[in-house]
Structure 1
Amino acid sequence: MSRAKSTLEQWRILQAVVDHGGYAQAAEALNKSQSSLNHAVAKLQHQLGIELLEVRGRKAHLTPQGEVLLRRSRHLTQMVGELEQLAGNLEQGWEPSLTVGRELIYPMEHLVCALARFLPLCRGTRVTVLDSVITGTHELILENKVDIAICGGQPPKGYLAEPLCEIELILLCSPQHPLASLPAPLDDKELARHLQLVIKDTALKSPKELGWLKAEQRWTLSNFHEALAILKRGMGFCWLPLHLVEQELEMGELVRLQLQGSSARRVPLSLVIPNRDRQGPAARLLEQLILERHGKGQETVETEQTRDETND
C-alpha cells in the first residue's frame, strides 16, 4: 500500500489559512507561529506537486485546483473528527447504534419529535426504526432485537411498560363502496360479505390471528399506505388509526362506518425496555425524550442534558 504524501495536520492548516483570511490570522487562531504555517503549506504543495494558494498583495487566495482539493479535505478532516469522537464515546460506554421497535399505529410524529431533540445530543449514534405489527412487536421484545419498543396492547408477560397514549381505530371504506350506502349501524353479517383489508402481523411465528377477520374475502397488506390506496379505489373496508385518515375524512375521500357493537377501538400504547441491564446512556436519553413527548420524564431529560453540557 502506497504511503500518503500529505498529513491531516497539513490540510487542517490550509483550511485555517483560508478560513481566517491569511497566515497571520490563522497562526493566531491555531496558536502557532506564522512561519510554521507557511512551511506546512509550502511542504504540502511541494509534496502534491500542485499550487494550492497564491498570494495577492497581503492575502492568500486559493487556486482553482486548491478550491477542489480544499473542499475534499474538509470531508476528510470532518470524518476523522467524527471517528475520534466515536472512539471517545465508545470508551465512555455510549452506544454506537440504537434500534427502536415501533408499533405501526404509533404516530410517527411523536417519534420524530423525540429524535429531533436526540440528534444534537446523540454523539453520532446511529438509529434504526423497525415498524412492527401486533405480536411482531412482542417478538422483538422477547428476542431482545430492539433497545426500545413501543408496544400496542398488553406487553409480553414479565416486562414492565410505561403507558404513552391511546390510539383510536375506526372502520372505513370509500364513499363509492356499497357499504357506505347501507343504513347504520351495520350488521357484522353484512360486513362479512365484503372484502376486508388487514395489516400483516410482522411476527415470524404469530400464535393466532387477531382482529375482526370474519370476512369471506381478505387481502393482507404490509402497511397502512397500501390499505389507503386500495380503499380510495372503492375496494374493501379496513380498520385504520384515526390520526392517519383525518385528512381523507375531511376531504370526503373516505367515510366512517358504524358497526353494531364495535364502531371504534382504542388501543393503548406503552414503552418497553427489553433489557434494562444492558441499557446504555444513549438509550436512556432517547427513552426519556419519548416519555417527555407524552408529558413524562422531563426532569430526567434536563438532568441528562445538563450533565452532558457540563462534561463538554
Structure 2
Amino acid sequence: MHDSITLDQLRTFIAVADEGSFSAAARKLHRVQSAVSHAMANLEGQLGVVLWDRSTRIPALTEQGRVLLGAARRVCADADALSSAAQRLAGGLDPLVSLCVDAVFPLSALVDLCVEFARVYPTVELVVHTETMAAVADRVLDGTCQLGVVGPAAAAQGLERRHLTSVRMVPVAGKTHPLAAAQQHAGRVATEQLREHVQIVLSERGGARSPEQAVLSPRTWRVVDLQTKRELLCAGLGWGNLPEHMIRDDLRAGRLVRVRPEAWGEDEHLLSLAVVHRPGLVLGPAGQWVLKRLVELCCEHVGGPDVGGPEEPR
C-alpha cells in the first residue's frame, strides 16, 4: 500500500542516491547497512517498482528509480516546508498578509514594498490588490484584505484609520493640447475655457459611489486606472489631475504641461492617504512590518506625512 510509505523511507532513498552506495548512506544516517537495505527493499515492495539494479557490486538507480527520486525529493521538501510553516505559526508569524491600495498610491513604493517583503519574509504569502476610491475600503470591510490604503473620498465607516501621507495632485494637459499653449500666455485658466475641453476623470468600477469632486468640465472621459489617464493626457486628448510623483519626468521632459485653473486657486493641493483596517485586527510580525514600511516608503517616494495644504480630489 502506497499510504504506508514513510518519510524515513524516502529520506533513506535520497541518502543512498546522494551518497552513492548503501554503506555510505548508512554512515551518513548513523545506521547499519542492513537497515538501509531493508528500508529500500520495503520501499520497492510498497511501490511495486525496482529502484536499484543490484547486479553490480554497487547498486545503481534503475530508470524507474531515477524518475521516482525526483518525486521523493519533492515530497520531502514539501514535508519540510509544512514543518517549517507549523513552527512559524506556533511562534506567531503571519501565514499571510493581504493589502489593498488606492490607485493613487505610488507604484514605485508598492514595488519596493513587495521586493523587500519577499526578501525579509520569504515564507509568508503576500496578496496585493489595487482599487479606486470606495472599493479599497470594501476589500477591507469584506475581509478580502487586512490592510487598505484609501484616499479622503473613500467612505471608511467602521474601519480604524491612520494618516499615512499626502499626495500632491497636479492639473495637467499634454504638450499638444490647446490648454498647454494657452497656459504659456496666461497665469490662470478661466473655468469657461476649461469647460470647452474634455476633462479626463478617475472613476470607480461599476459606477460612482464616492461624491464627485473637482470636475469643472461637462465633457468628461472616465477611466478606472491612472496609467490609462496619464497616457490619454500625454496624447493631448484632454486635461486632468495626476499625482505629482507619477508625472515628475513627464513635466521635466515637457510631455505634460501644468495647468492652473482659476477655480482652484494657487495654493498646493494635497490628497490625503490613510491606512485602514478592521477594529481589533491583530497583526503578526510580517503584518506589522508591512504597516511600518508603508509609512517609510511613502516618505521616500512621495514626501513626509502632514506636508500641509488643502486637499484636492482627482
TM-score, with length taken from structure 1: 0.75
What does residue 240 of structure 2 align with? 238
Distance (Å, rounded) in 2 between the aligned partners of 1:235 and 1:292: 36
Equivalents in 1 of 2:192, 2:60: separation in Å? 81
Query: Tell me, what secondary structure is at the counterpart of 1:276?
Result: coil
Note the C-alpha offset of 1:25.
4.6
Query: Which residue is equivalent to 1:170?
Result: 170
Q: After TM superposition, list the pairs within 5 Å mapping 1:25-40 onto structure 2.
A: 25-40=24-39
Give the conservation status (yes or no) of the 8 Å contact 2:158–2:278.
no
Kindly indicate whether the alpha-carbon contact (under 8 Å) linking 1:95 and 1:125 is maintained by their aligned counterparts in 2: yes
* Equivalent residues of 2:158, 2:279 under 8 A apart: no
SS at match of 1:235: coil
User: Take 1:74 and 1:88, find their aligned partners in 2: how far apart are those partners?
Assistant: 21
* Contact map agreement 1:152 1:269 (CA 8 A) in 2: yes
Which sits farther off after the overlay, 76-85 or 51-60?
A: 51-60
Identity value in percent:
25
Distance 2:3 2:245 in 1: 56
Per the alignment, residue 198 of structure 2 pairs with 195
Identify which range, 185-194 or 200-209, moves more after superposition: 200-209
Q: 2:280 aligns with which of 272, 276, 284?
A: 276
1:56-88 CA distances to partner (integer Å, 9 max, x unpaired)? 988765444433322233333222333344445
Report the Cα offset of residue 156 of structure 1. Answer: 4.1
Output the amino acid matched with 2:177: H
Partner residue in 2 for 1:290: 294
Q: Secondary structure at the match of 2:109?
A: helix
Indicate the larger mover: 219-228 or 115-124: 115-124
Comparing 200-209 and 236-245, the one that deviates more: 200-209
- Cα 1:11–1:207 change in 2 (3 A) is same
Query: In 1, Cα distance between the equivalents of 2:131 and 2:243?
Result: 15
1:157-188 Cα deviation digits (max 9, x unpaired): 67654443322222232222222221343223
In structure 2, C-alpha distance between the alignment counterparts of 1:57 and 1:246, rounded to whole Å: 72
Are 2:211 and 1:208 equivalent residues in the alignment?
A: yes
Q: CA deviation at 1:280?
A: 4.2
Q: Distance in 2 between matches of 1:72 and 1:57?
A: 25
- Cα shift at 1:223: 0.9
Change (3 A) 1:132 1:51: same
Deviates more, 1:276-285 or 1:234-243: 276-285
**Distance of aligned partners of 1:72 and 1:226 in 2 relative to their CA distance in 1, 3 Å threshold:** farther
Match for residue 307 of structure 1? Answer: none
Choose the corresponding residue for 2:271, options 267, 271, 288. 267
Equivalent position amino acid for 2:76 in 1: T
Which amino acid in 2 is paired with 1:231?
Answer: L
- What secondary structure, in the 3-state scheme, does the structure 2 residue paired with 1:214 have? coil
**Alignment check: 8 A CA contact 1:135 1:203 kept:** no
1:48 and 1:120, CA in 2 relative to 1: closer, same or farther beyond 3 A? same
Superposed CA RMSD: 3.7
Counterpart residue number, 2:310 = none
CA distance in 2 between counterparts of 1:160 and 1:167 reads: 21
* Matched pairs, number: 294
Amino acid paired to 1:188: T
In 2, the alpha carbon distance for the partners of 1:62 and 1:23 equals 12
**For the Cα contact (< 8 Å) 1:23–1:37, is it kept in 2?**
yes
Instruction: Give structure 1 stretches of 5+ with no counterpart.
Output: 297-312
1:100 equivalent in structure 2: 99
For residue 119 of structure 1, give the secondary structure of its aligned residue in structure 2: helix
CA distance in 1, matches of 2:145, 2:269: 27
Alignment-derived partner of residue 303 in structure 1: none
Per-residue displacement from partner, 1:254-299 (whole Å, max 9, x unpaired)?
3333333258532232323322344445423432343454679xxx
Which of 244, 254, 257 is the aligned partner of 1:255? Answer: 257
Evaluate the alpha carbon distance shift between residue 177 and residue 256 of structure 1 in structure 2; reply closer, same or farther with a 3 A threshold: same
Supply the AA of the counterpart residue of 1:174.
G
Q: Kindly tell me: are residues 213 and 295 of structure 1, through their superposed partners in 2, closer, same or farther at Cα, counting changes over 3 Å?
A: closer
2:161–2:276 contact (8 Å) kept in structure 1:
yes
Distance in 1, matches of 2:127 and 2:271, equals: 24
Classify the secondary structure of the residue corresponding to 2:145: coil
**TM-score normalised according to structure 2 size:** 0.74
One-letter identity of the residue aligned with 1:179: L
Post-superposition shift, 1:206? 1.8
Q: What residue ranges of structure 2 are gaps of 5+ in the alignment?
A: 301-314
Matches of 2:190 and 2:38, distance apart in 1: 87
Q: Residues 58 and 46 of structure 1: is their aligned pair in 2 closer, same or farther, counting only changes over 3 Å? A: same
